[in-house]
């Protein structure tokens, strides 16, 4: 493709969102709106990327810190034309084309952006704008054509006549300009309108008055042109994207029991013959293998599940890896940097943090395992706790292969339980346990006969 400059307008507050967050940083299906625009335009290979920021500019810059772009501050925010004027020193000396996008149009596709560029280069007008048709065009600028069908101008909703408001063709806010022609008219924009702003759309009429050609490409899918101006629109597009992802997975061989109540982030991959039950949330960065069973009310984020994993009801898994044929839950919590071995079982009300659990090891219920290295074939009894925090630092617990830890045991780190050892139920272990030994660390049971009867008699007298 030919070289072009990319300019993204991302300065808006999004008043109707009623938020302290900049509009372009509101999340849709797990990522900020502006990231969709960047992802769609990146494969086209712009020679440089300019981003105009305004409201909470530093937050936007921070969120996009890894993006190779130049940021231009728009203070105050006086409209799209004003934004392009402020960016002018960064694009006016270049030759060729500038592609201008809005940062809040998340469903725009690479295909459509490539098409408008190619259309512009083939037909060679001064500007090519992207339009589409909406049954309800309320809030959008209307494309006004003459009797020959040529674009005469674009009029914003608040400045449109009753007749113009009846038009269904809207301006998407996406343009290809020839830089040499845009330079001639960008300084002539006026704020004499209902909003008191400088509209980039007015440049279309200014170019027409100079007898410059104005091209238009109609976007066949109106959803690509939808901008986010309210939380209602945000929810509507969320539903669209989620529906597309769910449909894709089912076509690829995933069973989704209730698509309406299942959430899967766009970058999540799920293997064939996996079953997702209602109210499952698979969040950004997750990879689910084949033949897994994910039961209701499970949330998995940024984690890997290998094949044949079962996750029972109401479990929470984040930043973890679960190896093949393991079983998790119900009501389990796996926290960051946890690895669960093959055929291992983490049962109900077990929390695991920053630990590696070996193959075929079981922690069936009511335990906390933190900063632990646990070998293969280990039995962790109910109520076992690795006491890993001394109030200042975290310490490791090591449990080697085939250890049996009895119920209600406290393993006070740093401590190592060596191979084939046993820990008696109710023990508080604070010293290493040798291989093949039994560790008992509890007080000797003492029975005081008739103590309870004497206590009752004393209380009655009292």
Q: Which positions are catalytic?
A: 365
CA–CA gap between residue 143 and residue 353 (Å, rounded): 57
Q: Where do the H-state alpha helices sit in 166-230? A: 179-185, 202-209
Instruction: Please say whether the dihedral angle defined by the alpha carbons of residues 76, 154, 41 and 108, taken in this order, is positive or negative.
Output: positive
Instruction: State the DSSP code for 158.
Output: G
Q: Residue length, the chain? A: 462
Residue 16: which of 201, 233, 194, 199 has the closest Cα? 233
Residue 266: which of 18, 70, 6, 27 has the closest Cα? 27
N-terminal to C-terminal alpha carbon distance within the chain: 97
Q: Where do the H-state alpha helices sit in 179-255? A: 179-185, 202-209, 231-251
Instruction: Please give the C-alpha separations between residue 447 and each of 248, 444, 450, in angstroms, as whole numbers.
Output: 67, 10, 9
- If 0-12 CB within 10 Å is exposed, 13-18 middle and 19+ buried, where does residue 339 land? middle
Instruction: Please give the C-alpha separations between residue 432 and each of 376, 381, 382, 392, 394, in angstroms, as whole numbers.
Output: 18, 18, 21, 22, 17
Structure token pair of residue 55:
């409201």
CA–CA gap between residue 61 and residue 54 (Å, rounded): 10
Instruction: State the DSSP code for 141.
Output: P
Residue 86: which of 76, 97, 99 has the closest Cα? 76
């Amino acid at each position: 493709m030919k070289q072009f400059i990319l300019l993204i307008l991302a300065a808006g507050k999004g008043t109707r969102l009623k938020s302290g967050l900049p509009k372009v940083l509101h999340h849709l299906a797990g990522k900020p709106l502006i990231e969709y625009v960047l992802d769609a335009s990146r494969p086209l290979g712009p020679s440089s990327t300019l981003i105009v920021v305004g409201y909470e500019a530093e937050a936007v810059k921070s969120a996009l810190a890894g993006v190779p772009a130049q940021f231009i501050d728009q203070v105050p925010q006086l409209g799209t034309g004003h934004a392009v004027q402020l960016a002018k020193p960064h694009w006016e000396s270049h030759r060729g084309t500038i592609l201008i996008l809005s940062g809040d149009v998340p469903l725009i596709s690479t295909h459509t952006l490539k098409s408008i560029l190619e259309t512009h280069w083939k037909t060679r007008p001064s500007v090519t704008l992207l339009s589409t048709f909406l049954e309800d065009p309320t809030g959008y600028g209307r494309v006004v054509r003459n009797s020959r069908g040529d674009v005469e101008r674009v009029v914003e909703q608040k400045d449109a006549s009753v007749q113009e408001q009846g038009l269904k063709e809207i301006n998407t806010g996406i343009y290809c300009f020839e830089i040499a022609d845009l330079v001639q008219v960008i300084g002539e924009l006026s704020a004499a309108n209902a909003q008191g702003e400088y509209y980039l759309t007015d440049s279309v009429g200014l170019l027409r008055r100079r007898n410059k050609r104005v091209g238009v490409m109609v976007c066949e899918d109106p959803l690509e042109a939808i901008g986010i101006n309210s939380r209602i629109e945000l929810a509507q597009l969320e539903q669209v994207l989620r529906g597309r992802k769910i449909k894709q997975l089912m076509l690829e061989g995933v069973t989704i029991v209730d698509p309406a109540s299942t959430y899967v982030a766009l970058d999540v991959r799920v293997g064939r013959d996996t079953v997702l039950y209602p109210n499952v949330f698979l969040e950004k960065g997750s990879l689910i293998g084949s033949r897994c069973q994910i039961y209701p009310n499970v949330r998995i984020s940024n984690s890997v599940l290998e094949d044949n994993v079962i996750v029972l009801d109401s479990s929470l898994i984040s930043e973890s890896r679960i190896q093949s044929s393991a079983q998790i839950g119900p009501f389990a919590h796996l926290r960051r940097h946890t690895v669960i071995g093959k055929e291992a079982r983490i049962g109900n009300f077990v929390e695991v943090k920053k630990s590696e659990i070996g193959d075929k090891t079981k922690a069936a219920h009511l335990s906390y395992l933190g900063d632990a290295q646990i070998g293969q074939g280990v039995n962790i009894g109910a109520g076992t706790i690795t006491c890993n925090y001394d109030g200042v630092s975290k310490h490791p617990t090591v449990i080697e292969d085939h250890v049996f830890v009895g119920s209600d045991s406290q393993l006070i780190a740093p401590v190592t339980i060596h191979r084939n050892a046993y820990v008696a139920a109710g023990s508080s272990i604070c010293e290493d346990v040798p291989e093949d030994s039994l560790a008992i660390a509890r007080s000797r049971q003492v029975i005081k006969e008739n103590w309870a009867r004497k206590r009752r008699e004393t209380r009655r007298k009292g």
